[in-house]
């Protein structure tokens, strides 16, 4: 870096972002305090947590058994380690996306709230704990609380690309489009090589901000994540008049979902469409209706699917905690 007095603060911020990205870890002030008093958890626990994070954020069913094992082992070995608890919260919150057909469950989300709150109590300066609590509230439709904790996460860790994009996703769900777009752009600037979850979230944010071409561009390559994310580019293509592509993408998406179905109900076109339209917690009716209209144009049977309604059956999975 060429450092000049005039550009010192800007250069300093760029250096900090690069260091944070290279380390790919988050160190809160409270964690540093514990480290200084020799009460820090073993490095192996951190390593296990980082491996769990990498798998969790891919949001793919192929990784879910390994994710469950890591979450379970962390809770057993470090029950008062805040990231272990926020990891459990992530595991619960992401499961309906990672496992096609698994339906969002209000009762389960309510059970997750005290776990997320406990993670925040253990380390109130950990942005990941704040984000986990924000997402739990978002899944319950408590948007004032979700955006509050998303904003707190940003304040605590404004140099972390994942914090920025995840908080931006929450703000876009809640209709704060300008702020969401700004957070998404900052996240991508802070990551020399954006990871698939960043690209997927940025594409969804672009759709919600009515930037359909930007959404399509974000999903131009297979990101290796849950087939649920295909919904954004599929609907965007329909909205810009690329109907043949949208229809082909929708049919391909249904094949992927049916081949990896984890739902208790059969993998019919109706049930798969219902899962797709309720797996993401969009809080604004008009945005959800744009998404549904795009899918309908692509050939989805959206009749009878209503905004803000989801099934509440308990999923039949091995690890429920």
Q: Yes or no: say if 253 and 295 are a contact pair by the CB < 8 Å rule.
A: no
Asked if the model's pLDDT at residue 28 lies above 70, the reply is: no
Q: CA–CA separation, 109 vs 229, rounded Å?
A: 21
Q: How confident is the model at residue 244 (pLDDT cuts 50, 70, 90)?
A: very high
Question: Mean pLDDT for the chain?
Answer: 88
Q: Yes or no: say if 188 and 181 are a contact pair by the CB < 8 Å rule.
A: no
Place of tokens 């209000």: 106
Rounded to 10 deg, the angle between the 161-173 and 143-156 helix axes is 160
Q: What is the DSSP letter of 160?
A: -
User: CA separation (Å) from 309 to 24, 219, 262, 289?
Assistant: 37, 27, 20, 13
pLDDT (tens digit per residue) in 268-318: 999 999 999 999 999 999 999 999 999 999 999 999 999 975 443 333 333
- Quote the pTM value: 0.84
Q: CA–CA separation, 51 vs 83, rounded Å?
A: 12
- Comparing 200 with 1, the larger pLDDT belongs to 200
Asked if the model's pLDDT at residue 17 lies above 80, the reply is: no
Tokens describing residue 143:
């948007």
Three-state helix/strand/coil letters over 248-268: HHHHHHHHHHHHCCCCCCCCC
pLDDT (tens digit per residue) in 133-164: 999 999 999 999 999 999 999 999 998 999 99
Q: What is the residue extent of each domain of the chain?
A: 8-297
Q: Which has the minimum average pLDDT: 28-42, 164-178, 303-317?
A: 28-42
Mean pLDDT for the stretch of residues 48-58:
91
Q: CA–CA separation, 157 vs 154, rounded Å?
A: 5
Cα dihedral value 138, 282, 218, 148, nearest 10? -30
Question: Could you say which architecture CATH assigns to the domain 8-297?
Answer: Alpha Horseshoe (1.25)
Q: CA–CA separation, 151 vs 137, rounded Å?
A: 13
């Amino acid at each position: 870096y060429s450092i000049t007095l005039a550009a010192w603060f800007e250069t300093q911020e760029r250096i900090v972002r690069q260091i944070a990205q290279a380390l790919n870890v988050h160190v809160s002030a409270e964690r540093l305090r514990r480290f200084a008093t020799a009460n820090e958890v073993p490095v192996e626990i951190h390593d296990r947590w980082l491996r769990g994070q990498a798998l969790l954020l891919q949001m793919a069913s192929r990784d879910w058994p390994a994710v469950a094992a890591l979450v379970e082992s962390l809770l057993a070995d470090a029950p008062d380690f805040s990231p272990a608890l926020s990891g459990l919260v992530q595991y619960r919150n992401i499961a309906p996306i990672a496992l096609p057909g698994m339906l969002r469950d209000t009762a389960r989300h309510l059970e997750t709230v005290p776990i997320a709150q406990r993670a925040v109590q253990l380390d109130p300066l950990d942005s990941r704990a704040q984000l986990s609590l924000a997402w739990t509230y978002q899944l319950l439709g408590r948007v004032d609380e979700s955006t509050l904790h998303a904003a707190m996460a940003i304040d605590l860790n404004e140099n972390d690309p994942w914090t920025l994009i995840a908080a931006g996703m929450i703000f876009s769900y809640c209709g704060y489009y300008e702020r969401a777009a700004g957070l998404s752009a900052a996240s991508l600037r802070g990551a020399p090589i954006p990871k698939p979850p960043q690209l997927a979230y940025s594409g969804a944010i672009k759709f919600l901000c009515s930037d359909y071409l930007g959404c399509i561009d974000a999903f131009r390559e297979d990101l290796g994540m849950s087939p649920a994310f295909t919904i954004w580019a599929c609907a965007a293509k329909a909205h810009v008049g690329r109907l043949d592509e949208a229809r082909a993408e929708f049919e391909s998406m249904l094949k992927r979902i049916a081949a990896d179905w984890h739902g208790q109900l059969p993998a019919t076109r109706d049930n798969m469409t219902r899962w797709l339209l309720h797996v993401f917690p969009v809080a604004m009716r008009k945005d959800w209706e744009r998404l549904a209209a795009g899918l309908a144009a692509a050939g989805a049977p959206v009749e009878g699917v209503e905004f803000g309604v989801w099934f509440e059956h308990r999923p039949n999975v091995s690890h429920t905690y």
